Structures are given as C-alpha cells and as structure tokens.
Chain A
C-alpha cells in the first residue's frame, strides 16, 4: 500500500559545497540518497517536498555540515494479503520468481492453480494450462502476498495466484 509519510533525515554536506545554493544542494543530496531505498519496512518511492531545513552544524573533526531535513515522501509498504501486479522474471520446476517494483516475490507450485502446470520442454520453460494462460519470464501476473520477510535493506515475499481474479494478466 502506498502512503504519504513524513520523515526526517540528517544530510551531510561537504565543505566544498558551502555557498549560496546550499539548501538546494541539500535537497538534491537527500533525493539522491533516499529515493529508491528500502528501510526494512517500506520502500521510499519518491520525495514529494522538503520542509523544515535546519541550520547547518559543522561537525568537529570532519568539517562536514550536518543538516536535519524534514521531508514528505511516498512510501510503499507491502502487506501480507495485499494484491500486487508483478512481472515474472524466472521460471523453474518449483515455482516462479516475479518482481513487483523493487520487491522480489516467489510463487511456488503449491500456490499455483492445479491446472497450470510446469512445462520444462517449452523454450523457455513456462507454466501453462495448455490453452490461454502462459507464465514465462516477462509475463504480467497478479499476485496475493502470503508472507513477508525483511532483511537489512531488502525485502522478500511469498505470493500465490490460486484465487479469484489472481494470475496471468494477459489472458
């Protein structure tokens, strides 16, 4: 699910950047540092705007200036039970991998409807029901997230496509 989230971050600025357009530089650096990262619970998709840019404080020892910036960002937090659209990346006999944006989701054969079977002889290998549904790398799939696990800067999910309105989107 997407949220608009108020966040805060300390940005360090190198002394060589001290000058007139420092606030601009701080914002740019913030965007560069933060956008597209995963904090563990959610992905920061985009920064809307910044507010409350603190005064810079010179850090003794390094000479870097530290700014505390409050900003508003669009974040995406996948939830268990959430339905997402993903693109299949790799298929094997145990299931298939897909990516919903930055999130890698694995769907196992147990969570694929029984009529959709693995076909190893096809090139490339695919999951198919031998009529209209073909899941191969590149296919768009609608997946319900069954489980989530987070590691430092990474998230993994398990999904399923046996359910109403789930599965291959190109059919």
Chain B
C-alpha cells in the first residue's frame, strides 16, 4: 500500500559522523522514533580552569542514536557500518505504511493518524506533506502535490473524453446582478409601476448572514442576465461549469440554486469567498493547482485574476440595477476598467472607499486580520446603506422628474436623453432596462474557443498519446483575441488620467490583448482615436483631425469591439458626427486652431444651429464657463486665441468701461479716502486740539508730558520727530487740512469752559515750542542727539520738578474739571503725568558709618573668623592623634585583663566538668586551644 521513501540524514547532525552500527536490517518493521542506527561524532570540549583562564580543548567522541522519522518497513540502507559521512545525504529507504497524502483537519484521511503531533525524529511536520487545498467547498481537506497531479490528470482525461473544457464563472455582474434594495421588492408587487415588467423575472431569496441587526434576514434580489438560462444550457455541453464568487458561501449557493435549480450545471462545484483564502484576488490555482491548460474564466473584472489573465474572457459588467454595482466587491480594489464615457448617474461609490482604505492600511503595515475585520464592517455598512437609502427609488424619482420636464419642453427632450445615457432609452419612464446582449456574443466566443481548442488537440493527438501535453487554452484565446483588432493603431484621449502609463493600464492591456497597437501620441500610423465623449482632451483631437484617415470614435466603440470580438463598424460611434454634417464645408478652409475652437463649442453648448463663424465665436467668449480641461496643450491653444479676439475688438469684455461714469467713481473714491483720514482725527481729536500741529498716532503720552514740563516735552517731541522720519513729511499735507478743520470747529465752540481755556493756553505753548524746534531744524543725527538731550535734561532738572508740580497745583481746579472731562471718555495717564521716579537711596556718605569703614570692618571680621577656623581644625587633629596613641599604649593592658578572665573561666569550666563527669575529656580531635564559648545570662532570667 505504501510507497518507498528515501530518507535523508538531515541537517541537524554534527557532521562528519561515523556510522557505528546499523540496528535494523532490511525487512524489519520500523516505527516512528525507533532507533535505526548508531553513529558517533567527534567534537571539542573546553576543559581546565575557566576561572584562571587556563583552558584547553580536548577531543571527545560521542555516540548517538538516529531514529526513524516515519513508520513502515525498512527497505534498504544507503550507508554501511564504519562509513564516515561528511554531509547530509540519503540514508535509508523505507516502505512507508502511509504517505499521508490526503489530510482532513490534521488527520491523515488514509490511515487516520494525527498529523499535528510534533516529534524529534522528523525534520518537517507531517501536515506539510499535504499542503494543497483543491476542493471547492472545503478548506480543511488538503492533498499532497503528487495526489493533486493525479486527480488533475483524471479530470483532464475525463474532460478530453467528453470533449469539454472547464469554465470558471463569476456571478456578480457577469451572469447575474444582485441587489438588496427593498424598492425592487415593492416594484415586483406593484403592477402599475413602470419597472414592473423589468423586475418581473427577478428572483429572490432570504439570507441571514449579516452580523448586524439591520442586514439580518434581508432579501436578495437576483436579476439574471438576459438569455442566461439558454446560454448556460448550451455552454454546459462544451464546458464543465464552476462558480467562483467573492460572495459568501451561503450567497453563492443560493445564487447557484436560482440560476441552476436542478444542480445540473454547476453541481457542487461552487467556491466562494469563505473557501477562497484570499479576500482580494481569485486564483485558478485554488481549484486547478497543477495545470490551467483547459480552464477558461468569464469574469467582469480582470484585476482580480492577477495570475490567470491569459485564461480570462472579460465580460462587460452587467448593470441592471443602476448604480448598485457589485454588492460583494467591497474587498476588491476599485475598478478602473469601466468603458463608459458618461459619468455614472448615481453617485453610489461604496465600492471605492474600503478598497482605498485597505490599500492604505496595508501600506501602513497593519494586521491583515484587522483590515479584513474593518472591511467586513465596511461591507455591512454599505449594505445597510443600500437598504436605508434605496438608491433605486431615488433614481426612479429623479427619472420621473426628468420625464415631466421633458414633457413640458419637448424640444429639449432629445438633448437631455442623449446626455444622460449613451443609448437613448426606448421607454422614457423606466429606470431598469433589460437590453443586455452580452451573453449572445459570449456564447459565440466560447463556442469558437472550444472548437479551436479541440481542433488543435486533434491535430496534436495524431502525434502524441492522450493526456500528454494538451494544448493551452490561454494561448488559443490569445490568438483568437489578437486577430480582432489586428492592424489597428489606437490612441486614447481623455480616457486615462494624464500621468498613467497607458501600456500598463487596464484599457491599454485590453487593447493590446486584442491585437491592436497602442499609441501614446497621435501620428500618421494611428488609425483610431478613442475619446471619452464626456470630457474629451483637445490636443490629441486636434492632432487627429489633421489626418483624414483617423477615425475618432467614442469609448463605446472599443467596448463593443471587446464584446463582439470583431472590429465593429465605427459609424454609429463616430465622434462629432453632427458637427461634421453641419459645419462641414465651411470649416474646410480654416486652419486647425479654428477647428478646435469650433469643436469645443459643439461639445459644450450643444448648439447645432448653422451660423456664421464670427458671431458664434463671440457668443462662445461670453457664455463659456471656465472649463476644467485636463490637457495642458489644450489650454495653450486657447490662450493663443484670446489676444486675437481682443484685437478684433468686436465686443471686448472691457469695452463697457467707455461708457462708465468716471466722475461719480472719483467722488466715491475721494469720499472713501476722506473717511479714512477722518477716522484718524477722531481717535486723537481731544488731545490733538491742544497741539494742532501734532497729528501723529503716538501723540497722547507726549501731550501729558508737555503739560507737566515744557523742557521735557520739547525733548520728547524731538525724539518723536526723529522717530517718525519720512511719515512726517508725508503727513504734512494732511496736517494742514486738519488745521483748517479744527479752526472752524473751535470758532463754533463756546468759550465758557475752563477746559477750553487751558487747552488754548497749552496749544499756544506747544506752538511756541514748535517754533523753537523749527528754528533749529538741521540736527545732523536727530535720534542720537535727541536722546542725549533728554537724559541730560532729566538729570539736571530733578530739582525743578517741584516747581513744575507747584505750578500745576495752582491750576488744580481747572485741571480737576479737565480731568473729569477727560476720564469720562478715556482711560489715560493722570493729568500732569506720573510722578518722578525716586532713584536715590539714603546712605550716609560721611561719619563713622561711611561705606569705606563698613567695608573695612566686615573684611576684618572675616579674616578673624578664618583664622579661628584654621586654629580650631589644627587643635582637633592634635586631639585625635593623642587619642589614637593613648589607645595604642593601653591595648596590651586591656588584652592581658581579657586573657586572665578567659583563663579563669576556662579553669572554672574544667572544674565544673570534672565535678559533673568525674573526668576531663576533649571533645575536639586536636591539641589546639579552643576558646571556650560563654554567654552571660542576665540575672532576672535565671531568677
């Protein structure tokens, strides 16, 4: 039953080894961990004194057993006794009882032994013998690679006998579309609903696989792609069908039951996300670990099959429930291969977010478990959202509204319809349209492929035996596809973002896989320019228009080619077809830049009425909103055009200024400026009235100082002048104006207030000071001199402060009134300014306690203190020395006393012993004197 296995010695031994004895001979039954032979090896041991570092190495020989890593019968030895083995190599042949090729949950399915047990004899665990999981509905059943090969070969012969191939079918958006929007259920019950006919054939089932309360027990609505039943029936005669979906197991089985109620087509060949083992991609190796030569995939996404692209027949995604997308795609990366030019009508972008998040998370090195958990939650919330928000209902409402509008203005109905979707809907008031024809083409392709495969197989069969080297369906598929667009040179415009590598993009790869050449720029060789009709790039478009042979087509043409696998007629997909009809001849003579201009106009305003080029352009200038153009070149073209327009001067946008009322504008400006200066005046008004010449912003402190001391104020004014610098000259004009104004104001004022009087007094004083200042205007460096002056002034005239204060006291009553007046409105320094700072200290400069004497006295005190300290330290040292020597001399006397005491005790001890025992005997075995141990027992204890 078992088969012979060559067992190696293993890397764990200490080579070189010498075989000492073979314990078992061929024919013996061996058990796991039995000793099979004895070997010896030499090694060096470090001996000697490790503490002193006197060590050396000594050669040692050690004998050890070598145990069997598996059960069975010993077949033959590859080694013999006495042999010296330098390195790992084959050692023994054992006929194993069981090679554990099929394992179920850690158990060998053949012998029933537990494979998870670890032991010392085997280098690898037995579970590693069967690493491949290749069963659809179980992940815990694993097989060895040889067994996988065997079963795959069986499968191959079976398929070849029945002349079939394997077809792996994706569910979501390939053969069906699922949605959980409860709106569908309502529509199905309501025959009056416009969508009733469409949703009549929608199948439903209930599933409670949602962990959240809301999604639990929700209804799934499954819409089969038109013609699916017949398609599957016919295809199943040529292909063995497998289901491979990213949905859950329960979902997959329910859908399989919906599309194949008798289980004739798929049987139990259903694999779902739960068994896939990977949340992000599908792999044929999961089902066909050895050879994928006979496997074809149909799927609406190519990016989930990273390793099996050759076997993939890509299908246009089936979008029946608009805007729903794939309800199981939350885990997958965002799809980038959409071949529709119009931006999706419904903004349900639930599939994008989690994928982006996952990308970010993996980039950040997060735990994959964590990510998966997050995504599960994400999916749940997306499903909840679908149930709550009911995107389909919203869509229908929107549609109804649009219909109403369309009925009102029938003339515009064509426009709105064509802008909403690429193909005009046959019935206006319906959201769900069931007009998909993909499966017809798909059936043709698969039939074609099947024929080609068996043609090639028959051709080969004549030369070779069955089962050997079957043709690879991937190659055939590539050949078939490569014929489709052979000879086409295709350039893309407005399809991909600018910085993407078009050759590696999804669309690019698809184009090349269909045999066309992809061009990044428009040149003579290019035969087709594919544009995104929603937002075309202008640069390539312009370039393409220079060549009459280049066909400019919408993305739909490409999609149709991919669907039908033929180079379809471009006419229905030609871009700017109506433009060509309308403007046609008129445009012939014009240069290319004008052409582009026309084109943009055609796209953006949708105005098709034939007009002469000139007024049209003007209209464009006025109406065009700023376009978000993704082509830089296009912008350049536009920029170049602009100056021309202005020169022609038909209706420049700034022409209107000629009729502008300049007078009123100037008035307004003046008013605005005046109001600014008024504000300044208002700020300082009350103070500035005293010093009219002073319009500067930092006036207030100066004013107060000027009231207290004329000298100081002059000094500070000098400072402020020097500080203000050039602004002063600038403000000169304004000051004059201010003077005039204030004069007028003062005339109006009544003169009875004392505040006014004193104000005038001060202003007179201030103006006189100003005259003084202006008399000596040319100070070389005003800032420095000003400062010095100020300091000196202050120092000299400390005494004069009192006189100033007296003067103030005289005018106290007036000042009080004035202060009250002021403080009612402002929080300013007190009238008369702050008092002078007392900076002198009262230290006696003469007499006994003059500073010199104080310093000398403290110095003398310190010297005395230090002297005392030194004397004290010396005395202490001497005392310590004396004490030490006294002890040294005393020690012999003390010791003698201690000895005498000991001897006395010893003798007393001996006497007591003799009295008790009658005889003295030694407890110790030597003549050495041992000091008796004694302890003095406190009196009160013995009492």
Contacts and interface: CB of A to CB of B under 8 A. Distances in A.
Interface of A: 80, 90-95, 97, 106-111, 120-121, 123-125, 137, 145-149, 151, 156-158
B135 A92 contact: yes
Given A90-B138, A149-B116, A123 B263 contact: yes
Contacts of B151: 93-94
Query: What's the interface size class on B, roughly?
Result: 20 to 34
B113 interface: yes
B267 A124 contact: yes
Contacts of A121: 158, 162
B137 interface: yes
Nearest to A154: B105
B108 A158 contact: yes
12 contacts: A92-B141, A93-B151, A93-B155, A94-B147, A97-B138, A108-B110, A110-B109, A123-B262, A124-B263, A137-B268, A149-B107, A149-B116
Given A94-B143, A106-B109, A147 B267 contact: no
A109 B147 CA distance: 12
B233 to A, nearest CB: 13
Interface string B245-279: 00000000000000000111001100000000000
B161 to A, nearest CB: 9
B102 A110 contact: yes
A123 B135 contact: no
B105 A147 contact: no
B102 A95 contact: yes
B336 to A, nearest CB: 37
A157 B268 CA distance: 22
A80 B114 CA distance: 12
> When A and B form their complex, which 8 residue pairs have the shortest distance between CB atoms, in order from nearest?
A147-B112, A146-B112, A108-B109, A106-B104, A156-B105, A158-B112, A110-B110, A123-B264
A157 B136 CA distance: 20
B106 interface: yes
Interface in B90-140: 102, 104-114, 116, 135-138, 140
B154 interface: yes
Contacts of B158: 120-121
A90 B268 contact: yes
B104 A158 contact: yes
Contacts of A94: 102, 109, 135, 141, 143, 147, 151
Given A94-B135, A125-B267, 15 more contacts: A92-B138, A92-B141, A93-B155, A107-B109, A111-B109, A120-B158, A124-B263, A147-B108, A147-B112, A149-B114, A149-B116, A156-B105, A156-B106, A158-B104, A158-B107
Contacts of A92: 135-138, 141, 268
A109 B151 CA distance: 11
Contacts of B113: 147
A120 B155 contact: yes
Nearest to B161: A121
A83 to B, nearest CB: 14
Given A90-B137, A121-B158, A95 B268 contact: no
B483 to A, nearest CB: 34
Contact of A111 (B110, B138, B268): B110
A130 to B, nearest CB: 15
Contacts of A148: 107, 112
Contact of A106 (B141, B154, B264): B141
A124 B270 CA distance: 12
A66 B154 CA distance: 61
Identify which of B102, B108, B113 gathers the most chain A CB atoms within 10 Å of its CB. B102
- Interface of chain A, helix or strand or loop or mixed? strand
A89 to B, nearest CB: 9
A160 to B, nearest CB: 8
A169 B497 CA distance: 66
A79 B158 CA distance: 39
Interface string B226-250: 0000000000000000000000000
Nearest to A107: B109
Nearest to B106: A149
Contacts of B263: 123-124
A60 B154 CA distance: 66
A28 to B, nearest CB: 26
Contacts, number: 83
B102 A80 contact: no
Contacts of A97: 138
A35 B264 CA distance: 39
A93 B151 CA distance: 7
A138 B776 CA distance: 122
Contact of A80 (B105, B106, B112): B112
B100 to A, nearest CB: 11
A52 to B, nearest CB: 37
Contacts of A156: 104-107, 140
B332 to A, nearest CB: 28
Contacts of A125: 267-268
Nearest to A120: B158
Nearest to A108: B109
A32 B111 CA distance: 37
B341 to A, nearest CB: 44
Nearest to B136: A92
A92 B109 CA distance: 14
B102 A108 contact: yes
A106 B151 CA distance: 18
A6 to B, nearest CB: 29
A113 to B, nearest CB: 15
A149 B137 contact: no
A95 B101 CA distance: 12
A39 B143 CA distance: 29
B267 A95 contact: no
Contacts of B137: 90, 92
Contacts of A151: 105
A2 B102 CA distance: 30
B698 to A, nearest CB: 73
Nearest to A93: B151
A102 to B, nearest CB: 14
B24 to A, nearest CB: 26
Contacts of B108: 147, 158
Contacts of B135: 92-94
Contact of B114 (A90, A110, A123, A147): A147
A162 B788 CA distance: 121
A111 B147 CA distance: 15
A13 to B, nearest CB: 27
B137 to A, nearest CB: 6
Interface string B624-646: 00000000000000000000000
Contacts of B141: 92, 94, 106
Choose among A94, A121, A157 the residue with the greatest number of B CB atoms under 10 Å from its CB: A94
Nearest to B154: A93
A102 B53 CA distance: 68
Contacts of A149: 105-107, 114, 116
Contacts of B136: 92
A80 B113 CA distance: 10
A146 B143 CA distance: 18
Nearest to A119: B158
Nearest to A94: B102
A99 to B, nearest CB: 13
A168 B747 CA distance: 128
A139 to B, nearest CB: 14
Interface in B149-201: 151, 154-155, 158, 162
Contacts of B162: 121
Interface string B687-708: 0000000000000000000000
Contacts of B102: 94-95, 108-110
Given A91-B268, A93-B155, A94-B143, A147 B107 contact: yes
Contacts of B138: 90, 92, 97
A15 B143 CA distance: 53
B101 to A, nearest CB: 8
A106 B110 CA distance: 10
A23 to B, nearest CB: 34
